[in-house]
Homo-oligomer: A and B are copies of this chain.
């Protein structure tokens, strides 16, 4: 069996590794236009901020490591054609000064082309000193430019924007993050929870401008500043963290169906072309709660999908489940994470919600070093938990995972509030903050129900009055 994988990121390489795990005879080739493979793009901001020493450290494997496992990796190769009818791809390879064209046959093709940064169409976005952020090379260029800069603007206050802003701040720059929506992290946090993160990063000295889209970047050949509505900011560099668009060119060439944004796949991660699979940021997935198509551009999602794709390719059974888009990030000492829908997203999807909210501590009250923890739990009107957001200076990620499981199991806040949690004074409170938030949701639901019943009663009384 010959398998060709296009893409050397988490999705592509994990698929290759998993196929090798299940089938020692498969001929596996991974092809990528990137110079580096098997690095963690999520870690780029942490190199900037100095927590990870250098970019080399975040490269986890070299092509030679894969060759040891009999996986052939071709880097700096541009796929120029997918001949679906002939089960071959054509690619261009730089060999010294020449470009050589080669061909590869496949029984199965895996498209793991990822996404590319979305560059908003506007004046100045190709000036020197304007950067996108996706590859390790982008990271290196940003770092190099930042070393000779004083002021930076980061456009977009999603996770990557904030992480990059923190990185540049730690490098000593004056940093402003701008966001066209009226809050930071709009995809994962509600405004009240986003405000906690905003307060934290502002305390770190990062400026935040909300509700103003970028209009243009100013400068002759080199960036000098940017304009946001009535505001104009000077800057030596601008980083566009304005989202990622799925790379679907290969899939289109191969004749795969494209969905609303990205490649359509079934639960086997198979495209509309039966021997072509796709994984990672270039595919669209189902949202477990709304049932609608969504994107899940997360390394962890890509890795989970790669296992499913690999199993199906080698003839084992496996299904990729709809996603909850569980995420976590860390900026300075602050961890924040979320899973499922925010109140905002729920309402946009026509789901009425009640939210339980509590702030508590990460250790017993008297324990030195206990940190404040904020939990917000979003429930539908039957009490079913459909989302959760958690912020604290420690112990957030695993709580998000607990909530991920609770949501996947369709627990109600009442059920969760009876759950058994572990306890020891140095690591937790005797009643977990998650339980407290679940109890708060239960109480709010009860109050709403009572109000409804009272309204009914008063309507009944009124109608009785009318009929009497």
A interface residues (Cβ-Cβ under 8 A, vs B): 10, 40, 42-43, 46, 51-53, 57-58, 60, 298-301, 303-304, 318, 321, 323-324, 326-330, 335, 337, 339, 364-368, 395-402, 404-406, 408-409, 418-428, 430-432, 434
Are A421's CB and B42's CB within 8 A? no
Are A51's CB and B368's CB within 8 A? yes
Closest-CB distance, A54 to chain B (whole angstroms):
10
| CA–CA, A330 and B327, complex, Å | 27
* Between-chain CB contacts (< 8 Å), 8 pairs: A40-B364, A51-B426, A58-B366, A60-B366, A301-B420, A304-B418, A323-B420, A396-B427
| CA–CA, A303 and B435, complex, Å | 12
Are B298's CB and A339's CB within 8 A? no
Hey, which chain B residues are within 8 Å of A402, CB to CB? 398, 401-402, 405
Pick the most buried of A404, A422, A432: most chain B CB atoms within 10 A of its CB: A422
Hey, which chain B residues are within 8 Å of A53, CB to CB? 368
| CA–CA, A293 and B19, complex, Å | 47
With A402-B401, A404-B420 known to touch, is A367 a contact of B43 (CB < 8 Å)? yes
Closest-CB distance, A142 to chain B (whole angstroms):
17
Contact for A432 among B42, B298, B401, B431, CB less than 8 A? B401
Hey, which chain B residues are within 8 Å of A418, CB to CB? 304, 318, 321
| CA–CA, A402 and B432, complex, Å | 13
Contact for A60 among B299, B365, B404, B428, CB less than 8 A? B365
Which chain B residue lies CB-closest to A58? B366
Hey, which chain B residues are within 8 Å of A368, CB to CB? 51-53
With A405-B405, A405-B406 known to touch, is A327 a contact of B51 (CB < 8 Å)? no
Hey, which chain B residues are within 8 Å of A51, CB to CB? 367-368, 426
Are A397's CB and B422's CB within 8 A? yes
Which chain B residue lies CB-closest to A419? B405
| CA–CA, A339 and B409, complex, Å | 19
Nearest 9 CB-CB pairings of A with B: A398-B398, A300-B423, A328-B422, A397-B427, A330-B426, A326-B422, A402-B402, A400-B422, A43-B425
Hey, which chain B residues are within 8 Å of A423, CB to CB? 42, 298-300, 327-328
Given contact pairs A328-B424, A396-B427, a sample of 5 additional A-B residue pairs in the complex whose CB atoms are under 8 Å apart = A43-B366, A299-B430, A300-B420, A300-B421, A405-B406
With A337-B422, A401-B402, A420-B404 known to touch, is A427 a contact of B328 (CB < 8 Å)? yes
Closest-CB distance, A63 to chain B (whole angstroms):
18
| CA–CA, A40 and B420, complex, Å | 19
Hey, which chain B residues are within 8 Å of A366, CB to CB? 40, 43, 52, 57-58, 60
Pick the most buried of A366, A420, A427: most chain B CB atoms within 10 A of its CB: A420
Contact for A422 among B10, B40, B404, B428, CB less than 8 A? B404
Hey, which chain B residues are within 8 Å of A40, CB to CB? 364, 366, 425, 430
Closest-CB distance, A418 to chain B (whole angstroms):
6
| CA–CA, A428 and B42, complex, Å | 12
Are A425's CB and B42's CB within 8 A? yes
Pick the most buried of A304, A335, A424: most chain B CB atoms within 10 A of its CB: A424
Which chain B residue lies CB-closest to A329? B424
Contact for A326 among B367, B421, B425, CB less than 8 A? B421
| CA–CA, A413 and B38, complex, Å | 28
Hey, which chain B residues are within 8 Å of A299, CB to CB? 423, 430
Closest-CB distance, A53 to chain B (whole angstroms):
7
Which chain B residue lies CB-closest to A163? B424
Hey, which chain B residues are within 8 Å of A408, CB to CB? 419-420
